[in-house]
Chain A
Amino acid sequence: MDSKMINVALPKGRLGEKVYKMFEEAGYGCPDIFEGRKLVFESKEAGVRYFWVKPSDVPIYVERGAADIGVAGKDILLEYEPNVYELKDLGIGKCRMVVAAPKGFRDDSEYPLRVATKFVNIAQDYYASVGRDIDIIKLNGSIEIAPILGLSDVIVDLVETGTTLRENNLVVYEEIMDISARLIANKSGYNFKSKAINTLLSRI
């Protein structure tokens, strides 16, 4: 049963390319992977197939068994809470989930804090853990301008270097957690390809 191919969902974009390089160096290369606009690639010799999918969709492909394994940021896993195994911290795609606010911001606990974010679940969990009442504002992009326009008091977002925050006059107010890319696996598929998956794990 372990002669089967491993199906891998990779996140499209910079992180996915880094992850692919790791797989390639571990002996799971696929010669023409960056050519053309194909979204699926296979290498029979290496016993692996890759699908490029939207980063936030990786957990869905894995949870539903369309991919046996996949790579997703911890932020996405915390936000969607898929029922999957988290087998390895790949130590790449490192960044921080933070609360950012305009310089000089002071939290007035008399009112609910208005929080703009893409990461509703993470923000709610974090403020519940510190016992702060919030009003959540779900945005899909350009989160940094929410406090500038008075739409929110603070934002909860990912920060890599902090440049975008600085450019928008924001500073890190609180750190929530460190984020990095994780290798995840489907709970059923793992049983039928455990040897192949564990070999892959030991090589990367």
Chain B
Amino acid sequence: MQYDDSVLTRTERRIFALRTLYTRAGYGPYRMRKFEDYDLYSRNKDYLLSDRVITFTDTNGKLKALKPDVTLSIVKNLDDRPDELQKLFYDENVYRVSERTNTFREIMQMGLECIGAAGNQAAAEVIRLAEKSLALVAGDNDYILRISDIDMLTFIIDDMSDSRYVRSELLRLAGEKNLHGIAKVCEDNDVPAEKCRVLTGLLGLYGTPAEVMPELEEICRGTVAEPEVEELKEVLGSLYDYEDGKDMHIVMDFSVIGDTNYYNGMAFEGYIDGLPESVLVGGRYDKLMQRMKKKSRAIGFAVYLDNLGMLGRTAGDEAIESFFSTYRAPEEDE
């Protein structure tokens, strides 16, 4: 029997489109068990967004958990082959505590991982696929992939203060683009003005790679972040001819702080016009690999399919436009 694709839901269409994209790019599907040994998460709490996990005791007495994260399971189960490139994708549900409701939620995730000899070439490929994924799921909506470099940010911040508290405050404020807050923390903690200027300069950058890279080089010259600029240039250079400034969907924005426990090097976030939250999150996670005693390098991303469900029904410009076209103020004496 031939199937009729009109029976597919919008989410299923998105999954098929992404599967096609990843398969054509040479990525293979990765299936995993629904349950994972709780031990994996208790040993790697730092890498989870929340340390709360749904657990249960299996019939053999072992403590199991419903996956709060896919990448940890893949890293644990995949053979460590640092000289090869293992390319895989998944679509899985994960179970996390929602910050908003403070209750557990099932989250639909589709993502891909590039593990092994994953150098700058691989990073460029993953970023290209992240951008294509956004284009596929955004439909007619505009979209943007914001790229940052976590190492660059943390090297600069680590050089500003010996106090762990000050450093974590600076990182938090960086994620808020809170330049006045950073200036105040620097002033209160005697951080040299020139070091403060490097950080605020970095965070003040926003634009296409063609617009941002020359200024970035200028800001980072002679600082601890200088070697990182070269690496970033190499990745962007193998990604596309960014200097012609044609690609409007990729912007450099160093306020993308990701999860610094998880990511190092490049980090990125994808946004679709009309959706208030990011729908794609990813980056390089060599540090996580090392922590799990693997020699491989790794980079990947996840698309949050649930967030996409809000497309077309959020309080965005369209809703506001239609509201304005019919809006009448209540009468004074109503």
**A interface list, Cβ under 8 A from B:** 1, 4-5, 7, 36-38, 40, 42, 49, 63-66, 83-89, 185-189, 191-192, 194, 198
What is the CB-to-nearest-CB distance from B171 to chain A, in angstroms, rounded to a whole number?
Answer: 14
Contact of A192 among B142, B180, B315 (CB under 8 A): B142
State which residues 317-334 of B face A: CB under 8 Å.
317, 320, 323-324, 327, 329-330, 332
A38-B271 in contact (CB<8A): no
A150-B51 Cα distance, complex, nearest whole Å: 39
A88-B180 in contact (CB<8A): yes
B176-A192 in contact (CB<8A): no
Stretch at the interface among B64-72, B82-90, B272-280, B285-293: B272-280
Decide if the interface of chain B is mainly helix, strand, loop or mixed: loop
Given contacts A42-B324, A63-B276, A88-B180, contact A192 B330 (CB under 8 A): no
**Residues of chain A within 8 A of B181, CB atoms compared:** 86
B178-A188 in contact (CB<8A): no
Given contacts A7-B320, A37-B329, contact A65 B142 (CB under 8 A): no
A85-B177 in contact (CB<8A): yes
What is the CB-to-nearest-CB distance from A185 to chain B, in angstroms, rounded to a whole number?
Answer: 8
Given contacts A37-B332, A66-B315, contact A191 B146 (CB under 8 A): yes
**Residues of chain B within 8 A of A192, CB atoms compared:** 142, 144, 271, 273
Contact of B271 among A64, A66, A185, A188 (CB under 8 A): A188
Q: Which 7 pairs show the lowest CB-CB distances between chains A and B?
A: A65-B276, A66-B315, A38-B329, A86-B178, A89-B180, A191-B144, A85-B177
Contact of A36 among B180, B251, B274, B332 (CB under 8 A): B332
What is the CB-to-nearest-CB distance from B208 to chain A, in angstroms, rounded to a whole number?
Answer: 11
Q: Mark B301-315, 1 if CB is under 8 A from A, else 0.
A: 000000000000011
14 examples of A-B residue contacts, CB within 8 angstroms: A38-B329, A40-B323, A40-B327, A64-B314, A65-B275, A65-B276, A66-B316, A85-B178, A85-B255, A86-B177, A86-B178, A87-B177, A87-B178, A187-B277
**Residues of chain B within 8 A of A40, CB atoms compared:** 323-324, 327
**Residues of chain B within 8 A of A5, CB atoms compared:** 317
Number of B interface residues at 8 Å Cβ cutoff, please give it. 31
What is the CB-to-nearest-CB distance from B95 to chain A, in angstroms, rounded to a whole number?
Answer: 21
State which residues 221-279 of B face A: CB under 8 Å.
251, 255, 271-278
A192-B271 Cα distance, complex, nearest whole Å: 9
What is the CB-to-nearest-CB distance from A45 to chain B, in angstroms, rounded to a whole number?
Answer: 15
A194-B201 Cα distance, complex, nearest whole Å: 17
What is the CB-to-nearest-CB distance from B51 to chain A, in angstroms, rounded to a whole number?
Answer: 18
What is the CB-to-nearest-CB distance from A175 to chain B, in angstroms, rounded to a whole number?
Answer: 14
What is the CB-to-nearest-CB distance from B308 to chain A, in angstroms, rounded to a whole number?
Answer: 13
Interface flag for B35 (CB, 8 Å): no
B142-A188 in contact (CB<8A): no
**Residues of chain B within 8 A of A85, CB atoms compared:** 176-178, 255
**Residues of chain B within 8 A of A49, CB atoms compared:** 320, 324
A38-B332 Cα distance, complex, nearest whole Å: 10
**Residues of chain A within 8 A of B323, CB atoms compared:** 40
A198-B211 Cα distance, complex, nearest whole Å: 16
**Residues of chain A within 8 A of B146, CB atoms compared:** 191
A135-B139 Cα distance, complex, nearest whole Å: 52
A192-B276 Cα distance, complex, nearest whole Å: 11
Interface flag for B47 (CB, 8 Å): no
**Residues of chain A within 8 A of B317, CB atoms compared:** 4-5, 7
